[in-house]
Chains A and B, each alone.
Chain A
Amino acid sequence: MYDVIIIGAGVSGCAVARELSRYRADICVLEREEDVCCGTSKANSGIVHAGFDAEPGSMKAKMNLEGSRRMKALAEELDFPFQQNGSLVVCTDGEQRDGLERLLERGQKNGVEGLEILEREELLRMEPNLSEQAAAALYAPTGGIVCPFGLTIALAENACENGVEFRFRTQVDTIEKTENGFRLTTPQGTFQARTIVNAAGVYADVFHNMVSRKKIHITPRKGEYQLLDKTAGRHVHSTIFTLPGRMGKGVLVTPTVHGNLLTGPTATDLEDREATDTTRTGLDTVTEKSAVTVKNIPYRQVITSFAGLRAHEDGDDFILGQPSDAPGFFDCAGIESPGLSSAPAIGSYLAGQIAEYLELERNPSFQPTRKGILDPAALEFSKRQELIQREPAYGRIICRCEGVSEGEILDALRRPLGAKSLDGVKRRIRAGMGRCQAGFCAPKVMELLVREGVCDWDTLTKAGGDSWLICGKNKDAIGKR
């Protein structure tokens, strides 16, 4: 019997896990994929929103503001990349001007600091590549960018180091209330817990509805993106939004925290909760709509495109806490944008509620800091030289596009909750994330996965499950047909 089972190792689930590990409790995270950060958390804009967009008084507004205020300190504590690059909501003609004013007012109500409306001339000094029709913009200096993998993995590793158990490839099928809590069935066996955190992303309504008569409904809302090479990374400096509409914040153009340029997302409501495929129409829409605010985006330098599903709840707000008819069951549902920005706040908010419900004591040995993977390129010349003398693996570059050494990859494999697949390595240390998209480094990373005993050649995968990469040796199939 666990004190807490958290369903879902996305950014919200991991944030709750990390904040709960401040208490003495038996905590387990159940994740259906082979790694953390495999659902909505891995395919989004990577934006830390300033907080002007959400309806004043909503959970979104509250969590966003607090989350974004805490992100910098958290980034230092857990050593993940975060940058406050500021954001601009660009309006393109006089008609939209009112919208901008309303947004400013809403932002001020929400308590966002430093908001101001800038006119075209000033805007162009900041962002010379804004489109011809860009007339004015709401500037939010507190807007930022974060690596969504970096944030989620950091939270998970820290939770793990503080005693939280993670079980991967464990998909929850059913939840039943029991006398002292809940019983969860999975293909890997039955689990019992006094409390549940439902951080299941686009499936959160399914689990909620298993225990509560107050039904909720989540619509998977697809967002497609295009990622451009680092050579295009300075096309804009701040995050450029259009005025928000009914379906969300619209198509944005932003540098990423690693120096690429990202455009997207589209917003298409779906039935299928697994439809993370990109479409011709979607990608074309991104190209077209991004041009409304930013000119001359060098789309010839696209290195990949992807799609994610946001968990949009009918009530249009985060659902955090216990339904009145299911005590001990803590929802963390409807976490769409600004979910990433809100994660630190959501984690504390729910952990606090659970601690109170379970009357948990503080964990005196809680270790709040975590060290990320060492980046030799960030070291001074002589320090890097010393490092390589001590550990020659840091002198062997495996991923030439992102400059990732063998030493860093070994660290990604060996640390707590280490990478188990090519994508796991990619998300932790960016090998394969660059312009050649793993063309050169994939065979070498495969070799390291095998050499380190993470898997063997026949069980190597791109991202766990049936995503196998190698089917035997040369000529195995000769003479068999």
Chain B
Amino acid sequence: MREYAVVIIGGGPAGLAAAVSAAEQGEKEILILERDSELGGILNQCIHNGFGLHTFQEELTGPEYAARYIEKVRQMGIPCLTDTMVLDISPEKIVTAVSPREGLFQIQAQAVILAMGCRERPRGALNLPGYRPAGIFTAGTAQRLVNVEGRMPGREVVILGSGDIGLIMARRMTLEGAKVKVVAELMPYSGGLKRNIVQCLEDYGIPLKLSHTVVNIHGKERLTGVTLAQVDGSGRPIPGTEEEYCCDTLLLSVGLIPENELSRGAGVELNPLTSGPVVDESFQTSTEGIFACGNVLHVHDLVDFVSEEAAGAGRHAVEYIRGKRGQDICGKHGQGTALAIVPGAGVRYTVPSILHPERMEETVKLRFRVRDVYRNCYVTVRAGEKQLLRRKKQILTPGEMEQAVIQAEALAAVLPQETITVSVEEV
């Protein structure tokens, strides 16, 4: 069986950044396994700009952002196998994969980094009633057809969901010749960036209907229309508010789900709040030596944060191996106290959800999402009665991932039985 120090599952933004970071630590035996025929993952079909402001201080398109990392991977000589689907990862870190070139093969890894990304929620998961005609696509499928295959999936389009992919696709479909009639959003606010609402919808006169959803699908063979209705505070359609829209295409941008089927097989504990693995400050999962980063861990809105997180995972994976090899430079791996972090008022989840104060670096970045839109509020981090952090925020929205940086020394006084709570406090 072939052996590698670090095997990275996925050659998208997370996998690439993890690989580069692991190589920067001096690790030589790294292997990236990518299921598509090229590296870059979903960035290859995200041809809009707006990537990289944090990482490169410039605005790049998806393919350009990916190319920066692919270039580094090439320069560092990190081996990659494309067209390679990982079928199984065992808790002992034996990776089974298949590709047309290599056939079926197994690799023994010392550390595995999960970077498989996420998938879109399909129509079925929404349980939208009606017929099941052609013409209902997830926004990402349509994005691939248009941006990679150059083929139009429809002429007259309604979009359900105003997350960034839905908004971006409204503009892309328009610029390729389709008529986008409306974007409907179940929530009273859009999950997308303001910039995308202005530049993808308002620029093209596409209406955004907040607190609206699709309640019926028309057409038996190809979609002929949808019925939209307004929803009440709990998301239930209000009778009498139905409106018919003629369209041949419905694009769904209604949420992303981390793809953790392989993680489950590796015995990795999943967090029901994120649908991703439970990780500690080093991005290590409940299975020793298996790390996770990027959208397989939790769904991100900015690729820059994926890269940053993945770089952390790559670095920690190498540290883990060195600890194993008796070259533990940082002296951070070993037994110690594990503190649980739990989401408090207004917070949906945090990543990580476990901290090891003895093992961590000087600071740790807690990433979290809030449940609702909050204005003029405070983000606080507490351990029992002790306040570790309190920061004023003008606005928090569910669509934007937030972060709070905790100092290791602030954790020194936290008792093992105390849990750390991140919450939003309204003024």
Which A positions have Cβ atoms within 8 angstroms of B?
Answer: 226-227, 231, 274, 276-280, 282-283, 302-306, 381, 384-385, 388-389, 392-393, 395-397, 400-401, 403, 405-406, 435-440, 442-443, 447, 457, 461-463, 465-478, 480-481
Contacts and interface: CB of A to CB of B under 8 A. Distances in A.
B257 to A, nearest CB: 8
B124 A396 contact: no
A129 to B, nearest CB: 18
Nearest to A230: B261
Interface of B: 35, 83, 85, 87, 98-105, 119-120, 122-125, 127, 129-135, 137-138, 140-141, 144-146, 148-155, 176-179, 215, 217, 220-222, 248, 261, 264
Contact of A397 (B35, B177, B217): B35
A396 B100 CA distance: 5
Nearest to A287: B127
Given A384-B104, A439-B120, A477-B178, A305 B98 contact: no
B102 A395 contact: yes
A475 B177 contact: yes
Given A276-B131, A436-B122, A439-B141, A474 B100 contact: no
B76 to A, nearest CB: 27
A282 B216 CA distance: 13
A465 to B, nearest CB: 5
Nearest to A478: B177
Given A304-B124, A395-B100, A474-B177, 6 more contacts: A304-B122, A396-B83, A435-B122, A442-B141, A463-B134, A475-B176
Contacts of B177: 474-478, 480
A462 B129 contact: no
A305 B99 contact: no
- B104, B131, B220, most chain A CB atoms within 10 A: B104
Contact of B129 (A279, A442, A466): A279
A462 B100 contact: no
B307 to A, nearest CB: 23
Contact of A474 (B135, B138, B151): B151
Contacts of B122: 303-304, 435-439
A466 B221 contact: yes
A469 B130 contact: no
Given A280-B129, A435-B119, A465-B221, A303 B100 contact: no
A468 B219 CA distance: 12
Contact of B153 (A396, A463, A465, A470): A470
Contacts of A389: 103
B120 A278 contact: no
B67 to A, nearest CB: 22
Contact of B124 (A305, A397, A457, A476): A305
A342 B398 CA distance: 53
Contact of B127 (A305, A447, A477): A305
B171 to A, nearest CB: 13
B130 A278 contact: yes
Contacts of A278: 129-130
Nearest to B141: A439
Contacts of A435: 119, 122
Contacts of B179: 481
A439 B120 CA distance: 7
Contacts of B141: 438-440, 442-443
A388 B98 contact: yes
Contacts of A438: 122, 141
B100 A388 contact: yes
Contacts of A437: 122-124
Given A436-B122, A463-B134, A282 B103 contact: no
B374 to A, nearest CB: 26
Contacts of A478: 176-177
A381 B105 CA distance: 9
A467 B144 contact: no
Contact of A393 (B100, B133, B248): B100
Contact of A395 (B104, B124, B154): B104
Contact of B133 (A274, A467, A474): A467
A328 to B, nearest CB: 34
A397 B84 CA distance: 8
B145 A470 contact: yes
Interface centre among A280, A438, A447 (most CB of B within 10 A): A280
A467 B104 CA distance: 37
Contacts of A226: 127
B133 A462 contact: yes
B134 A302 contact: no
A468 B134 contact: yes
Contacts of B125: 302-303
A122 to B, nearest CB: 31
Contacts of A279: 129
B216 to A, nearest CB: 8
13 contacts: A384-B98, A400-B35, A435-B119, A439-B141, A440-B141, A442-B137, A468-B222, A471-B154, A474-B152, A474-B176, A477-B152, A477-B178, A478-B176
Nearest to B122: A437
Contacts of B101: 392, 395
